[in-house]
Amino acid sequence: MRLKNGLLLGTLIAVLVSTGFFAGSNVSAKKPMLINAAGATFPYPLYSKWLHEYRNVDSDVTINYQSIGSGGGIRQLLDGTIDFGASDAPMKQNERDRAKMPVLHIPTVLGAVSVSYHVPGAGNYLKLEADVLADIFLGKITKWNDPRIATVNTEHALPNLSILVAYRSDGSGTTAIFTDYLAKISTEWKDQVGAGKAVKWPTGLGGKGNEGVAGLIKQTPGAIGYIELAYAKNNGLNVASIQNKSGEFIPPSIDGVSAAANDVFSRTPVKLDVSITDSTAKGAYPISGFTYLLIYEQLNGLKGQKIINFLKWAVGPGQEFAAALSYAPLPSKLIKTVNEKIGEIKLVE
C-alpha cells in the first residue's frame, strides 16, 4: 500500500505542477495576446501569409485581420473597435479630423490594380488604350467588338458581346487607386465621376471586396472589372495590358509596379502618401499603388510594443514574401523613411 500510495501521490504532484497549480510554476500555458485589425482587401493574400509566418517570430501574439475593405477599416479604427486599420488610400482630412489622435500611415507593399475580364476568345493581355478603358467604365463603349477595342487587338476575333462593368460596392482603396488613374487620363471621368474610395458608377454591377468583384467577373461572360493582381491570378482570370504614358501596353506585374514607384521617387522628395498612378516611365504599369497600415500615433504599453515589433518585421523580413504573392516590395530608398515613421509611435501606459 505504501508503494501504491506513494506512486499515486507522485502522480498527483506531477499533474499539479504541469498544470501550473503551484504558485511560481513556469510551465503554465500562456494565452497569446490578441491584436485586432481590419481593412483593405487589396493586400489580404499577403497579410494572411504574414500573420501566419509571424507566429514563428512571436508566438506570444495573435493578430486577427478582417478583410472588410479600406472604408470599413477606417471606420472601425475611428470607432475604436480595432487596434489598427488598413487602407490602400490615405485617410481624407475629414476622417483624420474625427480620429482621437493623429493616425500614421505606414506603407507596407505596392500592388497592381489589374483590369480583368471574361471574354470568350479574347485570350490574356487584351490591349486597352487609356481613353478606351475610361469610356468602357463610363458606359460609352458597350460591346466587346467595338472598333476602338478591335483595331488594337486584330489577333483576336472579339465577340459581339455586351460589356458588363463590375465595380466595388463597398468603400475601397482599390477603387481609390483605380479612379485616381481614370481621373488623370479622362477629363470626362474627372468631371462626371471623380476619384475616391466610393463613387457613383455610371454603369455596371457592384461586388463586395476584391473577392466579390473577382467572382462577378468569373461568373459573367462579357464582364470587366478592377481587382488586385493576386485575386486575378488566384481566380485564373485574364488581365488587360494597359497603355501607359510612354505608349507601351503593359500588363500588371511586379516589375511594372516597381518601375512606377521608382519613377515617382526619382523625381520627387520621398513621401509616404504619394500617388504613383499614370507614371511616365517606360515599363511602368499605370494603375499601381501603395497599401498602408493605419496606426495611432500613441499606443498603449505591451500591446503597443507588440504592434511596433510587427511593423518593423513587416517592412523588414516580411518583404521577402511579397513577390511570390504578386506584390512589389517597398523600394529600398523608402525603407529608411518608413522606419523613421514607425519610430514616431509613442508608447504610453
pLDDT of residue 268: 58
pLDDT of residue 270: 61
Cα–Cα dist 208/190, whole Å: 24
Contacts of 293 (CB under 8 A, 6+ apart): 37, 84, 85, 86, 105, 106, 108, 311, 314
CATH architecture of 33-109+291-348: 3-Layer(aba) Sandwich (3.40)
Which DSSP symbol is given to 90?
A: P
The answer as to CATH 3.50.50.60 being correct for domain 112-288 is: no
SS3 of residue 281 by DSSP: coil
> What angle do the packed helices 301-314 and 44-54 form, to 10 degrees?
120
The DSSP result for 23-47, as a single string, is TT-S-S--PPEEEEEEE-STTHHHH
Residue 160 CB neighbour total at 10 angstroms: 8
Cβ proximity of 326 and 229 under 8 Å: yes
pLDDT of residue 274: 83
Burial of 274 (0-12, 13-18, 19+ CB in 10 A): middle
pLDDT of residue 1: 42
The DSSP result for 32-89, as a single string, is PEEEEEEE-STTHHHHHHHHHHHTTT-TTEEEEEEE--HHHHHHHHHHT-SSEEEESS
Q: Quick one: which H or E segment has residue 104?
A: strand 103-117
What residues of the chain score a pLDDT lower than 50?
1-28
Cβ proximity of 323 and 52 under 8 Å: no
pLDDT of residue 177: 96
The number of helix segments (H) and strand segments (E) in the chain equals 13, 14
- Cite the residue boundaries of each domain of the chain with CATH code 3.40.190.10: 33-109+291-348, 112-288
Cα–Cα dist 18/284, whole Å: 59
The residue type of 104 is L
Cα–Cα dist 313/308, whole Å: 9
Q: Dihedral angle at the C-alpha atoms of 215, 260, 43, 241, nearest 10 degrees?
A: 10
Cβ proximity of 142 and 119 under 8 Å: no
Cβ proximity of 292 and 105 under 8 Å: yes
Cα–Cα dist 266/333, whole Å: 10
Cβ proximity of 102 and 117 under 8 Å: no
